[in-house]
Amino acid sequence: MIHQIILAHPKPGMSEQNFQRYWVEQHAVRYAARIPQIRRYCVDTRVPRPDDPEDPLWSGVAEIWLENQQEQLASLQTPEFLDGARLDEPRWAAFWRTVVLDTDAHVLLDGPAAGAPATKVMILVKRREGLPLADFRERSLARHAPVAQKVPGLRRYVQNHTRDASYGVGEAVLDAAYQLWFDDVDAFEAARRTPEYRSMLADLGLFTEARYVHTLLLRENWILGRVEPR
């Protein structure tokens, strides 16, 4: 299954709050969720933190699950996309700042089911210059993941690696998106003060480019295909 991650920013003149509200309450339910090939759909809205920049790169993330590449291509030819979702996007999003990642998901800590009340952290990374993609993936999955799983309070951990097709004509913008779930914002803030969290970041710095590492604190808004907590 393809796990598509779409990073978006408000159009000029639109506040982040209005951007997020329109995305969740209008675009997601009236347009995107009606595309028949989409199996699951979640909009993650950014939770501001004191040390965030005044104008963050992205204010939200769409997560879309499609069965395969054929279904993905078919979705882009539907009237629901062409006459609906695509035409609506300029009303609220700065399309020139949108980044789309098609990824394969690796569930490394299978905690509470997606959709359970939780705070999610997304860490976007690009591998260190000169490091082969295969070596990055092996390093990330086999050596970094065990370090990350030691973070106190971590409920679920998934690594989403950019699919091979994105490297067909050059480099992908990002190589992976790591997702870490916590009970709430306070649990995350407590976790990030621990030696284990600092060790995770230190290890990340050994095989990624620091200037391309971006961390987003997010709140999930499930639109379609939510899995109920176990």
Which domains, from first to last, does the chain contain?
2-223 (3.30.70.100)
Element (H, E) at 177: strand 176-182
The pLDDT score that the predictor gives to residue 230 is 39
Q: State residue 212's pLDDT score.
A: 94
Question: CB of 61 within 8 A of CB of 122?
Answer: yes
- pLDDT attached to residue 220: 93
What is the phi/psi pair of residue 38, to 5°? -75, 120
pTM above 0.85, yes or no: yes
Nearest-CA neighbor of 45 among 228, 225, 177, 222?
222
Residue carrying the six token digits 């394969």: 104
Query: How much of the chain, in percent, has pLDDT values that exceed 90?
Result: 89
Convert the pLDDT of each residue in 162-177 to its tens digit.
999 999 888 999 999 9
Residue 111 has pLDDT above 50, yes or no: yes
